[in-house]
Chain A
Amino acid sequence: MASKLLQKKLSEEFKRDQVLTAKEELACYSYDSGIYTLFHYFEPDAAVLAKSVNDVIKTLAIARELKVPVVPRGAGTGQAGGALAPTGGICLDLSGWKDIEQVMPEDYQAFVRPGVTLDELNKAFAPYGLYLPPDPSSGSACTIGGMAANNTAGQRSLKYGAMDRFVMGLEVVLPTGEVVTLGGKQARVIKSVSGLDMKTGLFVGSEGILGVITGIRVKMAPVPPARAGILFLSADKKSVPALIREVYKAGVVFSACEFVLVQPSAEGTVAKNLSDLRLPSPLEMVLLMEFEGNLPGVAWELNRAKEIAASFAGTSTVAESREQMQRLWFLLDEAEGGVMGSRPGTKRTPGGEDIVVPPSRLIEALDGIQQLVGKAGVACVNFGHAVFGNIHTGLLIKPDDAEEMKKVETLIDGIHALALALNGSTTGEHGTGIVRSPLLTQEHGQAAEMMRRVKNLFDPDNIMNPGKILPADRR
């Protein structure tokens, strides 16, 4: 009944093609790209396609009146369930709000609406030689609003930082209906410490639990002219953290430092995919080190890394240009594909997929994951951002096997527990969402309570994306 009333009120306020209430439409807001929706099916009671601040204000007013949840959603590329509606309510689809309102190349800035995708923004700035560096590898689809709300980082974030380094200002609509500009109400600067930093300290990475991000002022960076790198095939994974340390200490700042773990059961399939390369024996890990910047600097970094890598057990393949780098990235993908071949007939699904451990404990964590995965009787591919100790785990599972899926749920809990036991974190860049909210207190202790108080301050009625970050059990 409540949902009928909600649908009626929304239909009165919005144009017909802006409110979706049909079952078929709502079903398509029941998923994101994570594992959660393989276990659960949640449908919002309505979806609103917002394309203006006023649309957002109207939606929040109705939500406030009826006390129903509002779930902001970008392109739904997340893996943590942040854009799902576990308790119904309104899914606020912002992906169609695509205005790049201000292009300010001379001030290295843009002001965009939340539905603009990363590729669209970069395309608009390409003529000026500028781009937005955080790259979650889904640039064609992911939205700037989603990137800000999740504090996206990606493979090049060691050198450039995550979204919090690039969001210079935000326009947000609070659940109370107030519209607030953060980062200075008229500011067009790329540096400021004035006031409390509510934009990146609070709203960036808040996953929609405090309010709706309706405008983002982002800093753009010059496109680096040169790129080079090394694909290092390690015969001894345990030595890889030391290799990374030595390269880093030598003054090389990686633009990316990615690994793929090759567990013994996957060595054959990976070797097959990399058969063009000189392979070490055994092949235990594939490491891609990438350097970006000006030409002489990159050449120096490449050389230095090459020299250091030569003293480690393994083989190197070098790329000296952007074009050649494409091949190395392709080969890294091929290595990942090879590991996936270790359990044919399964579906690769992210699960416990974003833990971070202290960089020195990377191998310990990987061994731990392999053990847990073995115990659950499944397989996985482990890859990620080596220099951070950020591990992405793709589980190779059979979603139709109910028994197996039970074990998979336990396995995911196990991976998260492992991260905390190793002084790590449950998520490096994908977000807490619905998937990791039950672990919030375990990870943060007293600070979790502070987070709850902050949420209550902004959202006393708890209508903004409830159940995300903060567990749903109590307010």
Chain B
Amino acid sequence: MKNLIDKCNRCGFCRAVCPSLAELGWESASARGRIFLAGRVLSGKAPLTAEVVARLDQCLLCRNCMSVCPVGAKLDQIIMAFRRLEAEELGVAKGKKVILGALADHRDLLSSLAPAASMLEHIPFKERASNGAVFRLNKKARVLPMMGGKPFLSQVQSVEVDNPLKKVAFFTGCHINFVGINVGRSVINVLARNGCSVWVPSAQVCCGVPFFASGEIDKAVGMVRHNIDVLSRLDADAIVYACGSCGTGLREWAGHPEVGPEYLEKAKGLKGKIFEIGEFLIDQLGVKELPALPKPTRITYHDSCHLAFTGVKEQPRRLLKMMGNAEYVEMPDAATCCGSAGLFSVTHYPLSRQINDKKIKSILAVRPQVVTSGCPGCNLHIMDGLNKADNEAVVSHYIELINNAYECTPEAGQ
């Protein structure tokens, strides 16, 4: 850890891209400030106090600073190590604990309650035409996702096509599994329409990213190992995901030192097989044309930080532009963070809203009918921002929009 911290030269390049620094303005909200504070605590020069924790918890782990760091400082690993210490010494924040518990220890319970919840949620919540749900008694309260009934993993097992071009396993991630079911269906549909057989390995678990981010490293490591075991047993040509953050979990976190050399070695077998859905369609299947949307639609695309960090930027845009009737408009600053950052928006809602306000301004500047991204979490937060701005633009995963185009187009031979 000391080596990671000492790497930082305090050049300040990270200041330009930190979403929380842009709002808060004080130096402790910069990546180098966080590294400096973490370094003082981890080297014993300053005590671990709630005050220090409060500063480091303002990090969204968006990794934008890592993209511009000239010496390759790994802020994410430093923050995670610090949050582990924080979790051990001071405990995990309540809101986070409930959600993490549901995704790990009580996952089966959550799965069996989901169908009932999806019926009962209509009592307090009203589904919005443009996605998400608002509280009936306060329509300006935070937009929440609707449960999708039975979790995706227990709904869909596989779709077979004749003479498949590729056999693809779909890693859903928790959001798609529990609340983003239409995204999951869209992935499967679009893949099948492009000649792939798809199946959803039911033994998969959370990618581990929210647990790493909360300092629950032991649980995260267990999940990464479990998924490596599950995925490396598959006879698949490719493993596809549709959530930027899950992608980092699948692609990178086998490299966490505590996952261990045995699993790192095992994960090497998966290297070159794991793709984001748009990346897979463009780079692997060489998709050159897509059907048209039913009517002219003005579309924009927001870069999820984690997706962009893994280099997926152009592929979703190319796909969106391929559809007939799609009028693609690039929003200003498409690559700046939307402020969601998963559980960050639960524990730091006001700050995450402040960051999101800027994103909403960028979106509104290009007056889209549909806002897309490759991250269900970003989408939810953008929905919330648009709702607060009284804007009815639809927010969807870009793959859902592509699936819409397919659904309005009869399959060949029909």
Q: Bound state CA distance, A232 and B30, in angstroms?
A: 39
What string of 1s and 0s marks CB contacts (under 8 Å) between A286-301 and chain B? 0000000000000000
CB-CB contacts below 8 Å: B12-64 with A: 12-17, 24-28, 30, 32-33, 36-37, 40, 46, 51-52, 55
Residues of chain A with a CB closer than 8 A to B11's CB: 33, 77, 138, 141
Residues of chain A with a CB closer than 8 A to B10's CB: 31-33, 37, 76
Q: A22-30, A185-193, A440-448, A465-473: which lies at the B interface? A: A22-30
A23, A25, A96, A119: the one contacting B16 at CB < 8 Å is A119
Q: A27-B36, A27-B46, A28-B37 are in contact. Are A141 and B52 (CB under 8 A)?
A: no
In the complex, the answer to whether B12 meets A138 with C-beta atoms within 8 Å is yes
In the complex, the answer to whether A76 meets B12 with C-beta atoms within 8 Å is yes
In the complex, the answer to whether A24 meets B26 with C-beta atoms within 8 Å is no
Cβ of B9 within 8 Å of any chain A Cβ, yes or no, is yes
In the complex, the answer to whether A20 meets B68 with C-beta atoms within 8 Å is no
In the complex, the answer to whether A77 meets B33 with C-beta atoms within 8 Å is no
In the complex, the answer to whether B6 meets A49 with C-beta atoms within 8 Å is no
- Total interface residues on A, using CB and 8 Å? 32
Residues of chain B with a CB closer than 8 A to A28's CB: 26-28, 30, 33, 36-37
Residues of chain A with a CB closer than 8 A to B24's CB: 17
Residues of chain A with a CB closer than 8 A to B32's CB: 31
Q: Bound state CA distance, A75 and B16, in angstroms?
A: 10
Residues of chain B with a CB closer than 8 A to A22's CB: 51
In the complex, the answer to whether B51 meets A24 with C-beta atoms within 8 Å is yes
B6, B40, B52, B68: the one contacting A140 at CB < 8 Å is B68
Q: Bound state CA distance, A290 and B329, in angstroms?
A: 37
Residues of chain B with a CB closer than 8 A to A25's CB: 26-28, 55
Cβ of A93 within 8 Å of any chain B Cβ, yes or no, is yes
- Total interface residues on B, using CB and 8 Å? 27
Most A CB contacts (10 A, CB to CB) among B16, B25, B27 go to: B27
A20, A24, A75, A93: the one contacting B12 at CB < 8 Å is A75
Q: Measured between C-beta atoms, what is the minimum distance from A363 to chain B in Å?
A: 28
Task: Look across to chain B and name the residue whose beta carbon is closest to the beta carbon of A76.
Answer: B12
In the complex, the answer to whether B15 meets A24 with C-beta atoms within 8 Å is no
Q: A23-B51, A24-B37, A399-B6 are in contact. Are A29 and B13 (CB under 8 A)?
A: no
Residues of chain B with a CB closer than 8 A to A49's CB: 25-26
In the complex, the answer to whether A23 meets B46 with C-beta atoms within 8 Å is yes
Task: Look across to chain A and name the residue whose beta carbon is closest to the beta carbon of B2.
Answer: A400
Q: Measured between C-beta atoms, what is the minimum distance from B72 to chain A in Å?
A: 11
Q: Bound state CA distance, A138 and B11, in angstroms?
A: 8
Cβ of A348 within 8 Å of any chain B Cβ, yes or no, is yes
What string of 1s and 0s marks CB contacts (under 8 Å) between B336-378 and chain A? 0000000000000000000000000000000000000000000
In the complex, the answer to whether A96 meets B25 with C-beta atoms within 8 Å is yes
Q: Measured between C-beta atoms, what is the minimum distance from A368 to chain B in Å?
A: 25
Residues of chain B with a CB closer than 8 A to A32's CB: 10
Q: A33-B9, A33-B10, A96-B25 are in contact. Are A27 and B40 (CB under 8 A)?
A: yes
Most A CB contacts (10 A, CB to CB) among B6, B24, B25 go to: B25
Task: Look across to chain B and name the residue whose beta carbon is closest to the beta carbon of A41.
Answer: B45
Q: Bound state CA distance, A95 and B33, in angstroms?
A: 14
Cβ of A47 within 8 Å of any chain B Cβ, yes or no, is yes
- Contact surface of A with B, Cβ cutoff 8 Å: 17, 20, 22-25, 27-33, 37, 47, 49, 75-77, 93, 95-96, 117, 119, 138, 140-142, 347-349, 399
Pairs A-B, 9 closest by C-beta atoms: A96-B25, A140-B16, A28-B27, A28-B33, A28-B28, A77-B12, A141-B12, A33-B11, A33-B10
- Contact surface of B with A, Cβ cutoff 8 Å: 6-7, 9-17, 24-28, 30, 32-33, 36-37, 40, 46, 51-52, 55, 68
